[in-house]
Amino acid sequence: MAGQKTPGSQGGTAGSQADKDNRSQQLNEQDPTYHRGRGESETDSANAAREATQQNQKK
């Protein structure tokens, strides 16, 4: 259909809030999703996110 954008496509149509939240999580080093998307296991990603949060709090 004309004017519609597919999820994840570039363009003038805003994504859903869930899409925006997912993208934010994937770009946030303090979120386990960031680390899982880079190949870490669930346990390792949680630990890495916790460490990133602690490092950020020291700043």
pLDDT of residue 9: 52
Residue 40 forms part of a structural domain = yes
Domain that holds residue 29: 17-58
User: CA-based Rg of the chain, rounded to a whole angstrom?
Assistant: 15
Domain count, the chain: 1
Contact residues for 55 (Cβ-Cβ < 8 A; gap 6+): none
pLDDT of residue 59: 78
pLDDT of residue 1: 44
pLDDT of residue 10: 54
Q: pLDDT digits over 3-53, tens only?
A: 445 555 555 557 899 999 999 999 999 999 999 999 999 999 999 999 999
pLDDT of residue 15: 87
Residue 3 forms part of a structural domain = no
pTM of the complete model beyond 0.75:
no
